[in-house]
A and B are shown apart, each in its own frame.
Chain A
Amino acid sequence: MRQLAAITAFAAAVALLPAVTSSGVVLNIAIMTLYAALLGQAWNILAGFGGQFSFGHAVFFGTGAYAAAVLQARFGWNAWAALPAALALGAAVGGFIGALSFRYGLRGSYFALVTLAFAEVFRILANNVQFTGAGVGLMVKLDPGAARFQFADKAGYLHVILAFVVVGLLVSWWLKHSRYGAWLQAVRDNEDSAAALGVNVFAVKLQAIMLSGALTAAAGVFYVQYFQYIDPSLAYGPAVSVEALLGPIIGGLGTVWGPILGAAVLHLLGEATRGLVSSLPGVNLIAYGVLLVLMIMFLPRGIIGLVKCSRP
C-alpha cells in the first residue's frame, strides 16, 4: 500500500510540473525522461522480472509506432483509436517472437541475439515496403486537439506520457504482489524448479513478452504523436533497444522504481554533458557507456540496490 501511495504522490508531483514552470526546455526534458522510463518499464517486465534479456525491443516500439502512423496517415484513423490497435499488434509480435524462441528453449545471449535479429529484419522490411513509406518514412498530419492525441503545448503531452508511465508503475507493482508475478520471478531465477512447482514456464514467458511488447508499442504510439514523423531507423534502429535497457539496468532490475530512476539519472546526465561539452555532439553517449560499465562493475543491482543495502 505504501508503494501505491508513492505512485500517487509521484503522479501528482509530475502532473503539477506545468503549473510550476512553462519552460518548454524543462517540460521537454521531463517528457523525454518519462518516455525513456516507459520503454524501460516495458523492458523491465520481460528482463527484470522474467530474466529474458531482449536486445531488440525496438521491434515492439517500431511496430507500435508504425501501426499508429499507418492507421492515421493512410486510413485516417483517430490516434486514440489507433492506440489499442497498436498495443494489440505489439503484443502479437511479442507472442510471435516469444513462441518461436521459447518453444526452442532459447535463453541468455541466444535470446538476446534473436530479438536483435528480429528488430533488424523489421527495419529492413519497413525500408522496403510501400505502405510504411519505405525509406522516406511517414508523416502524421499536425492537427492539435486533445481528441486527436496532439497538443499545442507540452503540458498535454506530459500528462499523456505520465499516464502511460503510471500504468507501467501499476503493472510493475502488480508483478510484485500477484501470483503471476511470483511465477514470472520464479522462472527468472530457476526454470526447472519453477516447472517442478507447477509453473507453466512457456506460458509465463510468453505472457511476459506479450505484455512487454504491448507497453513498448504504447511508447511507439506516443513517439509518433509527439514528433509527427517516423522512419525505419528511428522505429527499428538499435538506439531504442539500448534506451529501453539502460534505464532499468542503471536504476535497478526487477524493481518498481528502477526504470524511472535510471531514466532520470541518464537524462540529467545527458543534459549535463551536453551543456558542458557542447562542441562534441554525442558526448552524452560516451557518458552513458562509461556509466553502464561502472554500474555493472560496482552496482549490479542498480541504484535501488544501493539504497536497499544502505538501510539496516
Chain B
Amino acid sequence: MTIPIEYGLLLAAILFCIGLAGVLARRDVIFMLMSVEVMLNAAGLAFIVGGAARGSADGQVMFIFILAMAAAEVSVGLALIIQLYQKFKTLDADSASGLNG
C-alpha cells in the first residue's frame, strides 16, 4: 500500500516543529544540537517523500547529501561544545552571550 504524500509531509512538518521547539526551549547546547539533528532529518524526510511521490531518486540523493552534511556539522558542533565547556564550565548556551550588541 502507498502512504499518501500528505501524511509523509505532515510527519516531516511535525518533526521539524518538535526540533525547532527543542532548539528554542532547551538551554543545554547538547540538547540543542540534538534538536537540530531532528530538524535536519525532518527536512530529509520531506525530500524522500517528495521524491517517492514523483517516482524519482532525486529525493534520496538529496537525503544522502544531508546526512553527510549533518555528520560534518555534528563533528564541528561537538568540538565547539567542548571548547565552550572548557571556557565557561557550563553547557548553558545563554552564558556565551559575549557578542551582544
- A and B are interacting partners: no
Which residues of A are interface residues toward B (Cβ below 8 A)? none
